[in-house]
Structure 1
Amino acid sequence: MFPRLSYAQRLLALMFFVSFIMVFFNSTTVDLSSPSRRLPYMEQYLQNALRSVNTVQDAQENVDNITGRNGHQKGWDLTTRTPPINPHEFKVLINPSSLCQHKNLTYLVYVHTAPGNFKKRQTIRQTWGAKTLMLKYKMRIVFIMGVVEDSVTMQRVNSESDRYGDIVMEDFQDSYRNLTYKAIAGLKWISSYCTNVTYVIKSDDDILIDMHSLMETMSSKEVKKYGTSRLIMCNQWLKMKVIRDKKSKWYVPEEEFDKEYFPPYCSGSLFIMSIDVVFAMYDMSLYTKFFWVDDFYITGLLVEKLNLEHKRLNDNYMLNARAAVEKFDKDEKRELKFFHVHKLTDIFRMWKRLRSEKNNSCDNCFTWVPPR
């Protein structure tokens, strides 16, 4: 897969890299306004260089350990292959590498977000992603994003990261067509820095999770019988028609995907995986041609290649944002656990009611202080 470098070779490579950057800064005049440059973030990248230089190799070694690549196979179809056709070579600009350095973690939640979505991230931190709940359920949360050209937004993200320490940023352009890069960034980071959890939960930043009910579900007999390997649970889509309307945001030309319907895949709003699936997905993504529809790429193409079976949690989802609040108010039995909600004020109101019903404490969950 990737060449195994000796310690001396790694040290020499790192010394060469740092020397090159020092010469570059001392001898070159650079147009910082060019969107192709990453120099505003280079200082922080250099600070992370010692921690990040082995990211790809460490991730691959973790994949080997989980899948048994260097010994007995563990049910995965992961054999030695030719060089990757979809290498994920983006640089890590912000890296909370110590986030999961705790012995007794069970869950990691990674949230797809955009740099400008400050209020959405803050809402999550003050509701279902609050620190008190993270500690209670042996959980950590991290937000995955790319970069934008607006320097003010980037500076605010850096300040936010300094304050909360829960942001992962790579240097791909954060856009709708690059969501697959964001998804792989999450898989890669987990494979490098959060290998000690049992389950991984992927969420979007406009989702409200009834965290208390979710934890009850995770400890139920039904989920326990699934085991803690080769597991992916989600809202499964069947017979989703491929959009051929060129005016649509989801238009897919036939040369990109020639079938009339997508094979089964998960709603990307939220899905739950065992940690071995994360490792295997990251490995398989390196050998699976890039496709911009991230939900299908990650939970359809990769899942199919890994010969996994989706476990359906469809009855737990309310993904119609217009109806979510009404459905929530009428759901007396609390059978719904995941809600797509547009208004942040609705998320706070709904969470306050859930907290009241469950009689769970959550310090500072409802004092909204947006980042400056």
Structure 2
Amino acid sequence: MEDIRISTEHEDKNHNKYYTRNIFRKCIYLTGKWNLKIYVAILALVCLPYILSLIEDIIEAMSVGLWGYQLNLKGGNGSYCSGREPFIPSAREEFPHGTAPDVPINFPVDEPNFCSDNPGLEVIAYVASTIAAIDRRNITRHTWGSAYKQGLRMRVVFMVGRPVDVMEEKILHTESEVYHDMIQGDYTEDYHLVTYKILSSLHWVSSRCPSVPWVIRADDDILVDPFLLHKLLPRVEEDGINCYLWPKSHVKRTGKWAVTKQEWSYKYYPPYCAGAFVLHHHQLLSRILEASCSIPMMVWMEDTYVFGFLAGEAGGIRPELKVLQHSHVDDMILVDDLGKVTSWAEINDRTSWWENIVKFHKGSSEHSGKERTFNIYYIFLILELFLIHIWYCNLY
């Protein structure tokens, strides 16, 4: 091979450039045949994990879709569907994984005429609570639960399960006699069995409030702006669910929301609504309850099952529905949110923020009222000047 060297600093600069360039040309010539293959191999190695992950996600999406289709081929076993005596588990260990749930349809403490005694209701909200959560219920009653006192056609009921002792039974009956807004379903209060509470609530609304067009499912620690909701309802589509949507949520294997691979082997859940606040039309109730006859409970989380699997089967999960804005940032309300956000999750100082919401909408109403008064006055003033002008012209 030709001796290639780089000249010293005392030699001609052009000579340096020639030999340096020649070195690179020699290297490219020697490896030219393999350059493209090497680059392709390196690129493949770098991109391989992403390609495999993409293929896995595609296969999983197809599997979830096929799984959902196959569920419809199974018969239901719920009391709502079959009319037989239901089996309602009393502990997580009894959770009937892989079978369709029985819907609790009995209500030892009931308000069967709640909606008929309040004619003209536009919204019925059922709030998932526990008998011991007295303070949360009272705050709800004195904040957004008092919307009907503000002239809005909206009422709230609280859904609770069986009392665990004499004290809870006393609390339940006392509140029921005072407020007439407590509904006790025939199911055990357990965090891992809330699915039965929600299905029982849906049955209660379906049977007790058939003429109320809109339904809200809410937690007992949220805050709702019913004034904004009332303004936006005419724009909400009836054939879909409005909520804070989780389009592709990772399955957690540890912690509070842990699900085993035996229960759900996939990495993601299908799209589902966060259960803190869900708004839908009454016509979806029967479709969701009917879906519970054939869709087995593969996971215990009620929002994933009821407002994911069942609502998806009922055709209610539609990501494009964004008329209402929901905040899922815990314990935080921004002043700029007022008049824009419909609900907030897990707010501590709900009473103070409720006062701010009322003031905001009263201020907006007074301001708009003043504007209307001013506009009417201005129109009459112009009309009066016009008539005076005509009268003056007729004189001459």
TM-score bracket, shorter-length normalisation: 0.5 to 0.7
Q: Which amino acid aligns with 2:352?
A: R
Alpha-carbon shift at residue 214 of structure 1 (Å): 1.3
Q: Does 1:128 align with 2:144?
A: yes
CA distance in 1, matches of 2:219, 2:296: 24
Higher relative contact order (CA 8 A, sep 6+): 1
**For the structure 1 residues 356 and 111, does the alpha-carbon distance in structure 2 shift closer, same or farther, using more than 3 Å as the test?**
same
Selected match of 2:277 from 248, 270, 273: 270
Q: Which amino acid aligns with 1:347?
A: R
Matching of residues 257-336 of structure 1 within 5 Å = 257-290=264-297, 291-310=299-318, 311-313=320-322, 316-322=325-331, 324-325=332-333, 328-331=334-337, 334-336=339-341
Output the TM-score relative to the length of structure 2: 0.63
Give structure 1 regions of 4+ aligned residues with deviation exceeding 6 angstroms.
77-80
**For the structure 1 residues 178 and 82, does the alpha-carbon distance in structure 2 shift closer, same or farther, using more than 3 Å as the test?**
closer
Selected match of 1:211 from 221, 226, 244: 226
Report the identity percentage. 24
Q: Which amino acid aligns with 2:167?
A: V
CA distance in 2, matches of 1:139, 1:334: 18
More strand by share: 1
* SS of alignment partner, residue 316 of structure 2: coil
**Deviation per residue, 1:264-303 (Å, 9 max, x gap):** 0111010111101012112221322234110011111002
Alpha-carbon shift at residue 187 of structure 1 (Å): 0.6
**Max radius of gyration: which structure?**
2
Output the TM-score relative to the length of structure 1: 0.67
**For the structure 1 residues 154 and 334, does the alpha-carbon distance in structure 2 shift closer, same or farther, using more than 3 Å as the test?**
same
Alpha-carbon shift at residue 105 of structure 1 (Å): 2.0
CA distance in 2, matches of 1:79, 1:194: 31
**For the structure 1 residues 275 and 154, does the alpha-carbon distance in structure 2 shift closer, same or farther, using more than 3 Å as the test?**
same
CA distance in 2, matches of 1:341, 1:271: 15
**Deviation per residue, 1:2-56 (Å, 9 max, x gap):** xxxxxxxxxxxxxxxxxxxxxxxxxxxxxxxxxxxxxxxxxxxxxxxxxxxxxxx
**For the structure 1 residues 202 and 133, does the alpha-carbon distance in structure 2 shift closer, same or farther, using more than 3 Å as the test?**
farther
Structure 1 equivalent of residue 206 of structure 2: 191
Structure 2 equivalent of residue 235 of structure 1: 244
Q: 1:146·1:169 contact (CA, 8 Å) conserved in 2? A: yes
Q: 1:88·1:286 contact (CA, 8 Å) conserved in 2? A: no
Q: Which amino acid aligns with 2:330?
A: A
Q: 1:235·1:313 contact (CA, 8 Å) conserved in 2? A: no
Q: Does 1:338 align with 2:331?
A: no
Alpha-carbon shift at residue 234 of structure 1 (Å): 1.1
Q: Which amino acid aligns with 1:277?
A: L
- Structure 1 residues without counterparts, runs of 5 or longer: 1-76, 361-372
Q: Does 1:115 align with 2:128?
A: no
Alpha-carbon shift at residue 334 of structure 1 (Å): 2.9
Q: 2:272·2:317 contact (CA, 8 Å) conserved in 1? A: no
CA distance in 2, matches of 1:357, 1:104: 26
Selected match of 1:351 from 351, 354, 365: 354
- Structure 2 residues without counterparts, runs of 5 or longer: 1-70, 79-99, 364-396
CA distance in 2, matches of 1:257, 1:155: 40
Alpha-carbon shift at residue 166 of structure 1 (Å): 0.9
CA distance in 2, matches of 1:320, 1:313: 17
Q: 1:236·1:312 contact (CA, 8 Å) conserved in 2? A: no
For the aligned residue pairs, the C-alpha RMSD in angstroms reads: 2.4
Alpha-carbon shift at residue 254 of structure 1 (Å): 1.0
Matching of residues 1-372 of structure 1 within 5 Å = 83-84=77-78, 85-89=100-104, 91-101=106-116, 102-130=118-146, 132-133=148-149, 136-220=151-235, 223=236, 226=237, 228=238, 230-245=239-254, 248-290=255-297, 291-310=299-318, 311-313=320-322, 316-322=325-331, 324-325=332-333, 328-331=334-337, 334-343=339-348, 346-359=349-362
CA distance in 2, matches of 1:173, 1:163: 24
Q: Which amino acid aligns with 1:351?
A: W
Alignment length, in residue pairs?
269
Q: 2:251·2:269 contact (CA, 8 Å) conserved in 1? A: yes
